[in-house]
Amino acid sequence: MRLRVATRLLQIQRVLVRHGLDEIILATHLFRPLRFAFYLSPATWFERRKGGPRGERIRLALEELGPIWVKLGQALSTRRDLLPIDIADELEKLQDRVPPFPGLEAKAIIEGAYGKPVGEVFAEFDETPLAAASIAQVHTARLRSGEEVVVKVVRPGIRAKIERDLEVMYVLAQLARDYSQEGHRLRPYEVVQEYEKTILDELDLMREAANAAQLRRNFAGSKLLYVPDVYWDYCRPEVMVMERIHGVLVSDMDELLRRGTNIQALAENGVEIFFTQVFQHNFFHADMHPGNIFVQTDDPQRPVYAAVDFGIVGSLDARDQHYLAENFLAFFDRDYNRVARLHVDSGWVPKDTRVDELEAGIRTVCEPIFNKPLSEISFAQVLIRLFEVARRFDMRVQPQLILLQKTLLQIEGLGRQLYPQLDLWKTAQPIMQEWGADRLSGRNIAQELRRQLPDLSESIRMLPQLLQQFVQKASEGTLRIRVDNEPYAELRREIRASARRRDQTIVGAVVLLAGILWLAFRTDWMPGVLLTAAGLLTALLARRGSE
């Protein structure tokens, strides 16, 4: 496996050199020892420095490197405020203009999935892709019953490419964890594990279809978001068929303005949709780049979002959702002491963290951003400064929150493109307050009790029987209470090992001293050298055993 990883690293460097991205190689310590092999290679002399602007060269390099790198470019493309314009414009093309694979290959995959020719499944099928992305591409079709649909097909051989690059990411993460001072806090290995689950789930289109169906139920009757219907009879792990929707890409501002779209309402609705998904439904679309979002403008003053591509969704466990919501509410109220205490209570920072010091650090970062429009602040910049505070207090990365953080940054980037004056905090605050009030309402508590009632009733029903068994075993003297002794056994083992290391150190010191004295007072030096060497070796072994 290490050979395959090393080979892939060489391939990555070759792509970077070929596209004239030498500055990335020079800035990356891992590649530096390898770059001379390419600079001295005649093949590289002819491949290096393809023409074209730097943004185009970066985009082409990401496309050539494969799906994981394309997704990196997609994520960066939503942050035009953090990138030079020329690079942002090129990376935006990765959202829906990734080079497609041949339509004949797509037909072969579809026919293999259905076990019959495409003509027997669809009345019409367009071999020319409508859109191509890093994991799959989409073709338009018409069912024999007349409905317009889109057919999504997974790229051939994509799993092997993803698994290969995941191996590279694991190696880099392990190196960062073992040799970086920040490794224990940033938890790179756990982050890669979380990303692996996410991207491998994307390869199963049955899972994506289920995600779409759930999101459609959550927003049934909504005037904010429309989710296309899934045609389950035509769905397979490598093929998915959905209702075709018509609308304007959310990034096409010229067309939206030409249609008289209420851009402010559109931007505010996007924020409301995000917070509704996270805190009311606890099920959110986590790939919100502009290539996946359309706008239906039948009523331009009440525009409706239409989402596609449901391969990446997220949800939070009850504990993380609670702490995250409380953090948002405390931020909105500028209650920095509560924010600090929540970070300690949730375990996001060590338990011995001084709350007053953490509070002061958070206040310093957050206080300047309130009461400002989005055009004057950047949530990404705030996060960067918060990470600086976090480093001081040894805050550990929470891998389960990474999808949410990425989606929030995408929402901010989308809002900035649509309506720079949008106040993210002002728009989100009433949604969060309503969620908090509803969570503590009598109706919500009654619903939760009703959900728990079957389990509670069963426990109560079994209680007399369990109590009788307990009393009977106690009276017979057969009652046994199991205690987990493993922590104590581990402690005993460590004490014994420590005692052995101590004894070895003492023995080594005595032998070393004997060797030194022999060398000092005797003329035959060989035994003294042997004693000294034996003492040093014993002491070193004892020390190594303690590490």
Residue whose C-alpha is closest to residue 290's, from 132, 402, 415, 143:
415
Q: Give residue 243's pLDDT.
A: 97
Encoded tokens for 171:
């190696």
Phi, psi (rounded to 5 degrees) for 386? -65, -35
Instruction: Please name the residues in contact with 366: beta carbons below 8 A apart, sequence gap of 6 or more.
Output: 331, 334, 336, 382
With b for 16 or more beta-carbon neighbours within 10 A and e for fewer, the 491-522 pattern comes to eeeeeeeeeebeebbeebeebbebbeebbeee
How far apart, in whole angstroms, are the C-alpha atoms of residue 135 and residue 208? 12
**Residue 177 CB-density burial (10 A; 0-12 exposed, 13-18 middle, 19+ buried):** middle
For residue 2, the one-letter residue type is R
How far lies 286's CA from each of 149, 186, 314, 334, 404, in Å? 23, 21, 6, 28, 7
Instruction: Report the length, in residues, of the chain.
Output: 547
Are 500 and 538 contacting, i.e. CB atoms less than 8 angstroms apart?
no
Encoded tokens for 311:
């391969």
Q: What is the DSSP string of 372-437?
A: --GGG--HHHHHHHHHHHHHHTTPPP-GGGHHHHHHHHHHHHHHHHH-TT--HHHHHHHHHHHHHH
How far lies 127's CA from each of 65, 144, 152, in Å? 25, 17, 12
**Active site (catalytic) residues:** 287
Q: Give residue 43's pLDDT.
A: 47
How far lies 398's CA from each of 360, 403, 408, 420, in Å? 22, 10, 15, 30
DSSP 3-state assignment of 83?
coil
DSSP 3-state assignment of 510?
helix
**Residue 111 CB-density burial (10 A; 0-12 exposed, 13-18 middle, 19+ buried):** middle
Instruction: Please name the residues in contact with 89: beta carbons below 8 A apart, sequence gap of 6 or more.
Output: 55
Q: Give residue 80's pLDDT.
A: 62
Residue whose C-alpha is closest to residue 231's, from 314, 145, 127, 134:
145
Q: Give residue 237's pLDDT.
A: 95
Instruction: Please name the residues in contact with 298: beta carbons below 8 A apart, sequence gap of 6 or more.
Output: 304
Residue whose C-alpha is closest to residue 339's, from 316, 362, 320:
362
How far apart, in whole angstroms, are the C-alpha atoms of residue 217 and residue 233? 19
Encoded tokens for 385:
């400064």
For residue 173, the one-letter residue type is A
How far apart, in whole angstroms, are the C-alpha atoms of residue 347 and residue 2? 35
DSSP 3-state assignment of 279?
helix
Domain boundaries in the chain? 2-95, 159-199, 249-440, 447-481, 486-546
The number of beta carbons lying within 10 Å of the beta carbon of residue 313 is: 22
How far apart, in whole angstroms, are the C-alpha atoms of residue 329 and residue 323? 10
DSSP 3-state assignment of 504?
helix
The number of beta carbons lying within 10 Å of the beta carbon of residue 127 is: 12
How far apart, in whole angstroms, are the C-alpha atoms of residue 104 and residue 389? 54
β 136-143/131-132 pair status = antiparallel
DSSP 3-state assignment of 151?
strand
pLDDT digit of tens for each residue in the chain (547 aa)?
566 767 777 777 778 777 877 655 554 454 444 455 555 455 455 555 556 788 888 888 888 888 778 777 776 676 565 577 788 788 877 766 678 899 999 999 999 999 999 999 999 999 999 988 888 999 999 999 999 999 999 999 988 888 888 888 787 777 767 766 655 666 677 777 877 887 888 899 999 999 999 999 999 999 999 999 999 999 999 999 999 999 999 989 999 999 999 999 999 898 889 889 988 899 999 888 788 899 999 999 999 999 999 988 888 888 888 888 888 788 778 888 998 898 888 887 888 888 898 899 888 878 877 666 656 766 666 666 666 676 677 776 665 677 777 777 777 778 778 888 877 777 777 877 787 777 666 666 666 566 666 665 666 666 677 677 766 766 766 766 665 555 556 666 666 766 666 666 666 566 556 666 555 555 555 555 555 555 555 555 555 555 5
How far apart, in whole angstroms, are the C-alpha atoms of residue 361 and residue 384? 13
How far lies 235's CA from each of 22, 100, 113, 292, 361, in Å? 44, 21, 9, 20, 51
Please name the helix (run of DSSP H) or strand (run of DSSP E) that holds residue 200, with its range, or none.
helix 188-202
